[in-house]
């Protein structure tokens, strides 16, 4: 075996001798500088392809989230939803429903009118259930207890569930919004207490 010493930025390589003898002395030496340049180009191309803007127009792919963070994120959305209702930010609350609020089945004015009868509307959030996954879709239910006061002073309380939906990570969608937890349905909005009995409805004496 002989060692060929390269100059001019070309690293030395070993030219081996096989059973048929040593290789041709005129064999091309490996240009490591050129190879490194090609590798750097490949790295730059990979980084560019990984940017969201490099995906085809109209598609978004989100990196997978840790499974244990999914219930926490869902509960945070429900908590934010009721905070906005309590602050009378009804447009912001409606935006936390699926399809940019359309899943609430009400436009902005109609959604706000649902809560017009409430002077106060609060909610406490319990621990969310487990994530139900299937066909690239995720669902989760979050238990809620809502309490408050009507404009006429009557108090109310009710228990129910908020069902949330999102597209699983790694699935390409039309927008990043589909990869966020959004409310699909709820069994507690709004609560309508039974009417008060008239003041003169007390049974008379016989």
How confident is the model over 44-54, as pLDDT tens digits?
Answer: 543 444 344 44
Please give the model's pTM, rounded to 2 decimal places.
Answer: 0.62
b/e per residue 153-184 (b: at least 16 CB within 10 A): eeebebebbbbbbbbbbebebeeeebbbbbbb
Strands 118-125 and 17-18: unpaired
- Confidence grade of residue 192 (pLDDT, cut at 50, 70, 90): low
Distance CA 163, CA 94 (A): 14
- What percent of the chain has pLDDT above 70? 59
The Cβ-side half-sphere exposure at 172, using a 13 Å CA radius, reads 7
Query: In order of start, what are the domains of the chain with their CATH numbers?
Result: 2-50 (no CATH), 69-186 (3.10.450.50)
């Amino acid at each position: 075996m002989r060692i060929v010493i390269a100059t001019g930025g070309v690293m030395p390589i070993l030219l081996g001798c096989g059973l048929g003898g040593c290789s041709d002395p005129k064999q091309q030496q490996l240009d490591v500088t050129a190879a490194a340049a090609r590798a750097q180009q490949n790295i730059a191309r990979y980084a560019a392809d990984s940017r969201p803007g490099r995906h085809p127009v109209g598609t978004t792919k989100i990196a997978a989230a840790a499974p244990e963070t999914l219930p926490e994120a869902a509960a945070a959305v429900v908590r934010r939803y009721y905070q906005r209702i309590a602050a009378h930010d009804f447009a912001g609350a409606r935006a936390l429903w699926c399809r940019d609020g359309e899943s609430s089945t009400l436009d902005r004015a109609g959604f706000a009118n649902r809560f017009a009868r409430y002077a106060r509307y609060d909610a406490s959030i319990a621990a969310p259930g487990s994530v139900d996954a299937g066909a690239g879709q995720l669902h989760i239910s979050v238990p809620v207890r809502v309490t408050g006061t009507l404009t006429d002073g009557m108090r109310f309380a009710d228990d129910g569930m908020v069902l949330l939906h999102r597209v699983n990570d790694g699935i390409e969608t039309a927008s990043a919004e589909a990869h966020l937890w959004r409310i699909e349905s709820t069994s507690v909005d709004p609560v309508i207490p039974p009417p008060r009995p008239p003041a003169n409805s007390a049974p008379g004496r016989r």
